[in-house]
């Protein structure tokens, strides 16, 4: 460890690799809500957060578990289609709470084109909330709908043993993986119609 009279110990969260304070400072000073996307292997957690003097305030949040509980989602909670749908859900919630613009906060994630991170962003933007971004960073429609998973499953059908092994969780929930794009479309329609109904009421 460096020593000397001019050495300053980094903040704890910087040492732990949790916070980039330079980026956070710029986001906080913008006074625009932050779209915070955090991903695990099994789920996507998306929040819209405002910075206040006493600490961060969560305006709305959505988790991919809500897709299973409220909208009949049968697929994995940690894949690209579920990240998109969670972003869409969070976007509709944000609009219902008066949020019309946000800045993306990816934390210490390394931005890579077409990842779950940007699938979540695409869903949030498709709900009608403005988030500055470049279109080239977003995944294509086929990956968002899960067509790449369906194609892979279709190729494996000639080997039932490998097929059943790779997609055992899908099959245990009653979803054939080659039907994933249809499940995606049905869940997206349910989310959209549920918020349209609330607006009319």
Q: For 151-166, how does the pLDDT look when each residue is reduced to its tens digit (9 = 90+)? A: 999 999 999 999 999 9
CB 116 within 8 A of CB 20: no
**Beta pairing class for 103-105 and 34-39:** parallel
pLDDT over 70 percentage in the chain:
96
pLDDT at 72: 94
How many percent of the chain have pLDDT more than 90? 74
The CA distance from 66 to 73, in Å, is 9
Domain with residue 127: its CATH number is: 3.30.420.100
Q: Which two tokens stand for residue 30?
A: 């913008």
Classify residue 10: in a domain, yes or no.
Answer: no
Q: Which two tokens stand for residue 147?
A: 């067509």
Whether 61 maps to a domain, the answer reads: yes
Q: What's the domain range around 164?
A: 15-200
Length of the chain, in residues = 201
Q: Which residue has the higher pLDDT, 110 or 47?
A: 47
pLDDT of 198? 64
Q: Are strands 55-63 and 103-105 parallel, antiparallel or unpaired?
A: unpaired
Estimate the share of the chain in helix, then strand, then coil, as percent rounded to the nearest 5: 50, 15, 35
pLDDT above 80 (res 187): yes
Domain contains 8 = no
28-85 pLDDT per residue, tens: 778 899 999 999 999 999 999 998 888 889 999 999 999 999 999 999 999 999 999 9
Give me the mean pLDDT over the 94-108 stretch: 91
Secondary structure letter of residue 159 according to DSSP: S
Domain assignment present for 169: yes
Q: Is 1 domain-assigned?
A: no
Total domains present in the chain: 1
Q: What is the pLDDT of residues 120-153, one digit of tens each?
A: 999 999 999 999 999 999 999 999 999 999 999 9
The overall average pLDDT reported for the chain is 90
User: Do the domain assignments include residue 175?
Assistant: yes
Residue 6 lies in a domain: no
Round to whole Å and give the CA distance between 85 and 123: 6
């Amino acid at each position: 460890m460096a020593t000397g009279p001019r050495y300053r110990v980094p903040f704890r969260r910087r040492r732990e690799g949790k916070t980039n304070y330079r980026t956070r400072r710029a986001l906080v000073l913008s006074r625009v809500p932050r779209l915070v996307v955090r991903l695990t292997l099994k789920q996507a957690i998306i929040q819209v957060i405002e910075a206040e003097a006493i600490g961060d305030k969560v305006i709305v949040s959505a988790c991919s578990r809500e897709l299973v509980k409220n909208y009949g989602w049968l697929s994995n909670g940690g894949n690209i289609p579920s990240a998109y749908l969670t972003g869409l859900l969070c976007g509709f919630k944000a609009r219902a709470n008066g949020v019309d613009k946000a800045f993306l906060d990816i934390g210490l994630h390394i931005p890579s084109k077409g990842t779950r991170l940007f699938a979540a962003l695409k869903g949030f933007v498709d709900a009608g909330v403005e988030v500055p971004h470049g279109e080239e960073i977003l995944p294509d429609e086929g990956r968002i709908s899960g067509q790449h998973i369906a194609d892979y499953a279709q190729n494996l059908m000639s080997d039932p043993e490998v097929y059943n092994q790779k997609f055992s969780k899908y099959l245990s929930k009653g979803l054939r993986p080659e039907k994933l794009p249809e499940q995606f479309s049905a869940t997206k329609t349910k989310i959209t119609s549920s918020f349209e109904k609330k607006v009319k009421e």
